[in-house]
């Protein structure tokens, strides 16, 4: 039991420091971007979550001290609380594995502390913990979260601004970042002339974004956009996704996107046109376009252009799978 008390005290220190750092606006106890993703998807602010965690571990420490003095009531109460904590951690771990697909290092540390406190409470506690943890994990694994997010239009949840200029069913989604020089070029081209419905989907949080005629969303989740590209195997931006007549088409690279916009989104070019550089929708295979590299990796700062190519791809509707 003494080891459980030690690990619970560590939990008090960590959650207390985390709450203090968040309150002061300092860097938090996290070592990867998974923490930011998980924090952005919670309904309760991280500060309040850590305050609750701090109080929880304090209660566990107090209860363990009382239990060491012979209180059977406190021993049972602590065991019940730790099983509840283990169930909550199982839900959080499942959420990270199945939905965000990013692990939060700080969350994993707290999860480890909860597991260790339960482990050193005895064989019965270990057995109960395994049963509860497995039940929650299996319950989450049986649910199809990807289908659910697609059915409600996850890309719209990642849109910072919408531009509606016509009544056609064609919808364009532009994936970009504030540090990508090629993305800026595409946006400048759109400002000059654009007659397509357009959604702006940044892969990072942007404090201020304005585009003439576009309506700013009250909230958006940039992590959805990054995960969408990751699921397609795309590692560079800009990317333009075109949804039209049930077909989803992706264009990667400034050259390919610029060509598409010139051919399809200018008022004097709304009639049917054909070109060697236009999108060929006769089949679902990739059509390489030779030229200089004109994209930025969304995991690194944008570098100077180097030899490379832009690509066009068709994907199956709503699956993210190339045919």
Q: Taking the CA atoms of the chain, what radius of gyration do you get in angstroms?
A: 25
Closest to 76 (Cα-Cα) out of 131, 125, 6, 134? 125
Q: Give the pLDDT of the chain (323 residues) as one tens digit per residue.
A: 899 999 999 999 999 999 998 888 877 777 666 676 666 667 788 889 999 999 999 999 999 999 999 999 999 999 999 999 999 999 988 888 877 667 888 889 999 999 999 999 999 999 999 999 999 999 888 876 654 444 334 688 889 999 988 777 889 999 999 888 889 999 999 988 888 999 999 998 887 888 988 999 888 888 888 888 887 888 889 999 998 877 788 899 888 999 999 988 887 544 444 344 344 433 332 333 334 456 787 666 565 444 333 334 444 343 333 33
Contacts of 101 (CB under 8 A, 6+ apart): 227, 230
How much is the pLDDT for 150?
Answer: 45
How much is the pLDDT for 109?
Answer: 93
How much is the pLDDT for 274?
Answer: 37
Contacts of 158 (CB under 8 A, 6+ apart): 201, 220, 221, 222, 223, 224, 225, 228
Residue 172 φ then ψ, to 5°: -110, 140
How much is the pLDDT for 272?
Answer: 46
**Calpha distance 169→181 (Å, rounded):** 30
* 2-143: CATH topology: de novo design (two linked rop proteins) (1.20.1440)
How much is the pLDDT for 276?
Answer: 41
312: exposed, middle or buried (Cβ count in 10 Å: 0-12, 13-18, 19+) = buried
Contact criterion met (CB below 8 Å) for 215 and 162: yes
Q: Where are the domains of the chain?
A: 2-143, 151-315
Confirm whether pTM is higher than 0.75: no
The CATH number given to 151-315 is 3.40.30
Contact criterion met (CB below 8 Å) for 293 and 238: no
**Calpha distance 156→198 (Å, rounded):** 11
Scan for tokens 């289908």, then name that residue: 147
Annotate the chain with three-state secondary structure: CHHHHHHHHHHHHHHHHHHHHHHHCCCCCCCCCHHHHHHHCCCCCHHHHHHHHHHHHHHHHHHHHHHHCCCHHHHHHHHHHHHHHHHHHHHHHHHHHHHHCCCCHHHHHHHHHHHHHHHCCCHHHHHHHHHHHHHHHHHHHCCCHHHHHHHCCHHHHCCCEEECCCCCCCEEEEEECCCCHHHHHHHHHHHHCCCCCEEEEECCCCCCCCCCCCEECCCCCHHHHHHHHHHHCCCEECEEEEEECCEEEEEECHHHHHHHHHHHCCHHHCCCCCCCCCCCCCCCCCEEEEEECCCEECCCCCCCCCEEEEEEEEECCCCCCCC
**Calpha distance 190→212 (Å, rounded):** 10
């Amino acid at each position: 039991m003494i080891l459980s008390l030690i690990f619970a005290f560590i939990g008090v220190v960590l959650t207390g420091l985390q709450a203090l750092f968040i309150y002061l606006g300092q860097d938090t106890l996290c070592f990867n971007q998974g923490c930011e993703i998980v924090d952005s998807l919670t309904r309760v602010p991280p500060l309040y979550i850590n305050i609750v965690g701090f109080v929880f571990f304090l209660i566990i420490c107090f209860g363990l001290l009382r239990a060491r003095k012979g209180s059977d009531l406190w021993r049972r109460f602590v065991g019940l609380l730790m099983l509840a904590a283990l169930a909550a951690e199982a839900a959080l771990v499942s959420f990270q594995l199945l939905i965000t697909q990013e692990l939060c290092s700080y969350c994993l540390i707290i999860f480890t502390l909860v597991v260790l406190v339960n482990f050193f409470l005895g064989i019965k506690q270990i057995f109960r913990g395994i049963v509860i943890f497995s039940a929650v994990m299996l319950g989450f694994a049986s649910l199809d979260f990807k289908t659910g997010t697609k059915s409600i239009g996850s890309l719209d949840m990642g849109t910072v601004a919408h531009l509606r200029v016509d009544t056609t069913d064609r919808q364009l989604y532009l994936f970009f970042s504030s540090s990508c020089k090629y993305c800026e070029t595409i946006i400048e081209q759109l400002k000059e002339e654009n007659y397509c419905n357009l959604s702006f989907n940044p892969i990072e949080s942007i404090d201020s974004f304005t585009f003439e005629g576009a309506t700013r969303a009250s909230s958006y989740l940039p992590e959805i956009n990054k995960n969408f590209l990751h699921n397609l195997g795309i590692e560079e931006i800009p990317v333009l996704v075109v949804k039209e007549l049930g077909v989803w088409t992706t264009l990667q690279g400034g050259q390919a996107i610029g060509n598409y916009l010139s051919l399809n989104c200018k008022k004097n070019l709304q009639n049917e046109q054909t070109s060697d550089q236009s999108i060929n929708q006769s089949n679902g295979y990739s059509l390489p376009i030779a030229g200089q590299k004109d994209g930025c990796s969304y995991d690194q700062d944008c570098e100077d252009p180097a030899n490379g190519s832009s690509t066009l791809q068709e994907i199956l509707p709503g699956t993210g799978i190339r045919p």
